[in-house]
Amino acid sequence: MTLHTRLVPAGIGLLLLTLPALAQTGQRIIVEQSSPSPRQEGSVRVQSTINFFVAGPSGEGEEAQKLRDRARRMVYELAARECDLLRDVLARDCRLESINSNIGRQYGQQQQEGLTVNGTMSLQITLK
């Protein structure tokens, strides 16, 4: 499992999330304090990105569709837990603003068949 992290601007502790059936994982967390939209004092936007691979059928069959559903569910479950983590570490309040999931098919003779999954979530927090 590999993990790539980028924190901007403050040094924030890194969370290592372990998901079943992952070949590799990358997570990037960005904390922004400046934005064109007005915010309350002590409020910041947090963006977290996760990338992983799930081995299995990637074609058009029923099993492939079940695998795609499972992969998206994993992204949504991570997003659901992100506010809990932020409240434990640095947030007094947290609100999920958006979630994006992107699934790509990986197949061929030289590589394991499965899905590459990329998820991004944006959250608005109020600092402790």
Question: Is residue 123 scored above 80 in pLDDT?
Answer: yes
Instruction: Please write the tens of the pLDDT for every residue from 82-96.
Output: 999 999 999 999 999
pLDDT of residue 89: 95
Q: Give the pLDDT confidence score for residue 60 in this predicted structure.
A: 92
Q: Give every CB contact of residue 83 below 8 A, 6+ residues apart in sequence.
A: 91, 94, 95, 96, 123, 125
Whether the model clears a pTM of 0.85, i.e. scores above it, the answer is no
| CATH classification number, 22-127, choose in 1.25.40, 3.30.70, 1.10.3470, 3.30.980 | 3.30.980
CB-count exposure of residue 54 (10 Å: 0-12, 13-18, 19+): buried
Is residue 48 a contact partner of residue 27, using CB atoms and an 8 Å limit?
A: yes
The C-alpha atoms of residue 53 and residue 112 are separated, in whole angstroms, by: 10
Q: Minimal CA–CA distance to 59: which of 118, 101, 108, 111?
A: 108
Delimit the domains of the chain by residue range.
22-127
The pLDDT assigned to 108 comes to 82
Q: Is 100 helix (H, G, I), strand (E, B) or coil?
A: strand
